[in-house]
Amino acid sequence: MIKKETIDAIFEAARVEEVIGDFVQLKKSGSNYKGLSPFVNEKTPSFMVSPAKQIWKDFSSGKGGNAISFIMEHEHFSYPEALRYLANKYQIEIEETEQSDEEKQALNERESLFVVSEFAKKYFHNILLKTDEGLAIGHSYFKERGFTEDTIKTFQLGYSPDQWDAFTKEALAKGYQLEFLEKTGLTIVKEDKTFDRFKGRVMFPIQSMSGRVLGFGGRILTNDKKAAKYLNSPESDIYHKSKVLYGIFHAKQEIASKDNCFLVEGYTDVIQMHQAGIKNVVASSGTALTPDQIRLINRLTKNITVLFDGDAAGMRASLRGIDLILEAGMNVRVCTFPDGDDPDSFARKTPIDELQNYLKNNATDFIRFKANLLMKDAGNDPIKKADVIRDIVVSISKVPDHIQREVYVQECASIMDISEDVLFSTLAQIGKKELQEANKKFVQDRKMEVVKNTPEETKEQVDIIYLLERKIIEILLIYGNYEELFDEYELKIVDEKVVTEKKRVKRKVFDQVFLSLQEDEVEMSNEKFRTILNDIISFYHINESWNLENYLKQVPPDLSDEITSIIMDDERYNLHNWEKQNIFVKSKEVAISQYVSETILTLRSYLIFSVIEEFKKQLPEQTENIRELLSDIVEYNKLKHTLSAQLGRVMPRFS
């Protein structure tokens, strides 16, 4: 259990823009920041961060909350794990107790996989540095590769003993369950036998963007031809090879600050480049580049430089990955090393200044790279040359930006000595074909939807009560502490006549909302809104001043998304920068009291309308009490007209 004082210190230190900035490239947008959603694949920013309110909102996925909830959502951390992550980031001391066997068993499955993986990382690292076998074999190998002690510790490199079940025995003795050792792939279970997957290998922990251990890569050090040189953890609930980039945890801040990411192939390429001083580098770990991996980089930068060794076959196999990068709307450059060199060997023997200059001077755009690579195979064969040109145009067609596409066409025409008109014509044909296929798919999908949905299901229903109650919560969250002048109506008898007298009173918005709802005994129909309303009113009454950041600290996680959505929806138009388009949105702050009064009166009017409609439904069934029912309808209609007069306009029909 983490003490309240420690939690308060974490909330005080954690700045939402700093926390999210480790995972998403944020750009200033007025008083807020915006960026691409880290939860869905998008090309137009819909993710907003408010430093003033210390909250975030993702309009694409609907998720939102504070710094803690972001870490929980993005990294799938539990609440205590998110606190520990932020405590580590801000160097806040936190008391951690050793977990008992009972506590380990109480963890849910996903968390248990992370706990087991973290234990394995520490075990392998400890074996490497503190055992004779680890020092003689594993540590010697890393030293031969030129890795320093600091590098070994930074990447938490390790060694798995060359024994059938050394790791498994140790893990079981420490109270870790065999079920989770098997599910992470660390232990292989065969009938009644168990043995270590990575026995006799040097170990490379694979970490998430936040540093959580997802899996491992292990390299064998013997010449056993029957065994794979590199072995990765199998797919699990926490490790998906296609969604992970090796080194992203150590590279993320440098990628964002340098606004460029170097992409290499293997673990040692990343480590050697990092040690040489090039820290904005990640690896696809020997797999073909995937859209999910590109999306990880896209959160931090729009620029990727792919580093290749001199192996032409390997470069050709990677061309599809470049097309995927272009399709994501990113800028891609390519840098190749001299024959016989790869990023690992070249970084090891090249001083940092020379290495930086080499990368800068030898990086070329993808068209020139692709043309030079493929034209070597085509030679003077016109048919092969035509195929190369067509292949390059297909790549250009992946670029979403029209201006970039035109520039690439001009460059391709110059390199390939071909008319721009021919290239634009080919590009148009490709676009037309893709459009036809997209339209065909769209029509098929629509047909499926028509079959699947009945008219009743597809008819949009607007929940007016929900919208009005949500507006009241919005008012309390954003304007509750404002002091405003409100119109108040009081019935008086003057000259034996009942008249309505209007007077102006000054009070806090939250008091006005609370009193108005109490007066009519109105209770929120939405259970979540009812809970939020009571919670906010209590907070206002207990605390002398309203502080949104302090309020959000004590909000239960199940209400966090709803509250953040309400707060950030009020600022959503900032994402679109309407003012630059000469569209001016009137601020509700100009007339808060009017906005508050209209919202409450509209809610009251709708409730009255609902009662009247209910009475009307009962009329055909009534025989004895019809006069009484009609009288009630008349009285409620009078009340509705009174509310209409107070609003200064005719009340709308809600049907």
DSSP assignment of 534-569, as one string?
HHHHHHHHHSSS--HHHHHHTS-HHHHHHHHHHHHH
pLDDT of 587 strictly over 60: no
218-259 pLDDT, tens digit per residue, is 999 988 878 889 999 999 999 999 999 999 999 998 998 899
pLDDT of 353 strictly over 80: yes
Average pLDDT (544-560) is: 74
pLDDT of 601 strictly over 50: yes
Q: Which two tokens stand for residue 273?
A: 């480049």
Q: Which two tokens stand for residue 324?
A: 């995927």
Q: Which of 198, 215, 216, 282 is nearest to 246 (CA)?
A: 282
The secondary element (H helix, E strand) that includes residue 12 is helix 4-13
> What is the model's pLDDT at position 134?
97
DSSP code at position 225: T
pLDDT of 576 strictly over 60: no
**Range from 142-146, 231-235, 241-245, 455-459 carrying the lowest mean pLDDT:** 455-459
> What whole-number distance in Å separates Cα of residue 568 and Cα of residue 58?
9
Domain with CATH 3.90.980.10 in the chain: 109-237
pLDDT of 429 strictly over 70: yes
382-419 pLDDT, tens digit per residue, is 888 888 888 888 888 888 888 888 888 898 888 888 89
> What is the model's pLDDT at position 457?
44
Q: Which two tokens stand for residue 537?
A: 């009113």
Q: Which two tokens stand for residue 459?
A: 């008819």
pLDDT of 550 strictly over 70: yes
> What is the model's pLDDT at position 646?
58
Q: What is the radius of gyration, based on Cα positions, of the chain?
A: 32
DSSP code at position 134: I
Query: CB neighbours of 644 closer than 8 A, spacing ≥ 6?
Result: 605, 650, 651
Q: Which two tokens stand for residue 549?
A: 């950041």
189-229 pLDDT, tens digit per residue, is 998 899 999 999 999 999 998 899 999 999 999 888 788 89
CATH match of 248-427 with 3.20.20.20? no
pLDDT of 273 strictly over 90: yes
Class for domain 4-89, per CATH? alpha beta
pLDDT of 113 strictly over 70: yes
Percent share of the chain, pLDDT over 90: 31
Highest mean pLDDT among 45-59, 116-130, 283-297, 354-368: 116-130
> What is the model's pLDDT at position 97?
58
pLDDT of 162 strictly over 50: yes
Domain with CATH 3.40.1360.10 in the chain: 248-427
Q: Which of 216, 217, 243 is nearest to 119 (CA)?
A: 216
Provide the CATH topology of domain 109-237. Answer: DNA primase DNAg catalytic core, N-terminal domain (3.90.980)
Query: CB neighbours of 312 closer than 8 A, spacing ≥ 6?
Result: 373, 376
Is there a contact between 172 and 37 (Cβ–Cβ < 8 Å)?
Answer: no
Percent share of the chain, pLDDT over 70: 80
Please give the residue that has the higher pLDDT: either 80 or 522: 80
Average pLDDT (130-139) is: 97
> What is the model's pLDDT at position 98?
60
> What is the model's pLDDT at position 309?
80
> What whole-number distance in Å separates Cα of residue 213 and Cα of residue 110?
12
Q: Which two tokens stand for residue 76?
A: 């799938």
> What whole-number distance in Å separates Cα of residue 234 and Cα of residue 211?
19
> What is the model's pLDDT at position 43?
78
Is there a contact between 68 and 79 (Cβ–Cβ < 8 Å)?
Answer: yes
> What is the model's pLDDT at position 381?
84
Strand, helix or coil for residue 217? strand
Using CA atoms of 304, 309, 315, 320 in order, give the dihedral in degrees to the nearest 10: -30
> What is the model's pLDDT at position 520?
60
Domain with CATH 3.90.580.10 in the chain: 4-89
pLDDT of 538 strictly over 50: yes
309-321 pLDDT, tens digit per residue, is 866 566 766 777 8
Q: Which two tokens stand for residue 406?
A: 């035109």
Average pLDDT (439-454) is: 52
Backbone angles phi, psi at 504, to 5 degrees: -100, 130
pLDDT of 431 strictly over 90: no
In the block, which residue shows the tokens 């369950």? 177
Half-sphere exposure of 516 (CA within 13 A, CB side): 25
Strand 261-264 relative to strand 281-283: parallel, antiparallel, unpaired? parallel
Q: Which two tokens stand for residue 538?
A: 């209590």
Q: Which two tokens stand for residue 229?
A: 């040189």
> What is the model's pLDDT at position 384?
86
pLDDT of 496 strictly over 80: no
Q: Which two tokens stand for residue 215?
A: 């899996």
Is there a contact between 285 and 317 (Cβ–Cβ < 8 Å)?
Answer: no
> What is the model's pLDDT at position 648?
58
Please give the residue that has the higher pLDDT: either 496 or 274: 274
Average predicted confidence (pLDDT) for the chain: 82
> What is the model's pLDDT at position 440?
60
> What is the model's pLDDT at position 584?
40
With cut-offs at 50, 70 and 90, classify the pLDDT of residue 564: confident
Average pLDDT (134-162) is: 97
pLDDT of 606 strictly over 60: yes
Handedness of CA 293, 299, 303, 307 (dihedral sign): negative
Using CA atoms of 240, 245, 246, 248 in order, give the dihedral in degrees to the nearest 10: -130
> What is the model's pLDDT at position 583?
41
